[in-house]
Amino acid sequence: MSIVDLRHGSAEEVLSWTYKRFRRVALVASFQAESMVLIDMACGVVEEPEVLTLDTGRLHEETHDFIDRVRMRYPIRLRILSPDAGELDAMTGEHGTMQFRRSVALRNECCAVRKVNPLARALLDYDAWITGLRREQTPTRAETPVVAGDPGHGGITKVVPLARWSRAQVWDYLRAHRIDHHPLYDHGYTSIGCAPCTRATEPGQSERAGRWWWEGDSDKECLLHPPLDADGQASLRGVRVSVPLGGARSTLRP
107 three-class SS = helix
Helices (H), the chain: 3-6, 11-21, 33-43, 61-73, 85-95, 104-111, 117-123, 167-176
- Of 126, 153, 191, 170, nearest to 38 by C-alpha is 170
| 8 A C-beta contact, residue 254 and residue 145 | no
Angle at Cα 144 formed by Cα 139 and Cα 147, nearest 5°? 175
Of the listed 110, 111, 194, 222, which one is catalytic?
222
| 8 A C-beta contact, residue 64 and residue 99 | no
- Of 196, 193, 217, nearest to 96 by C-alpha is 196
Q: What is the strand order of the sheet 50-54 is part of?
A: 77-81, 50-54, 25-28, 128-130, 156-159, 147-150
Residues 6 or more apart in contact with residue 10 via CB below 8 angstroms: none
| 8 A C-beta contact, residue 221 and residue 138 | yes
Catalytic, 222? Answer: yes
| 8 A C-beta contact, residue 58 and residue 197 | yes
> Which residues are known to be catalytic?
222
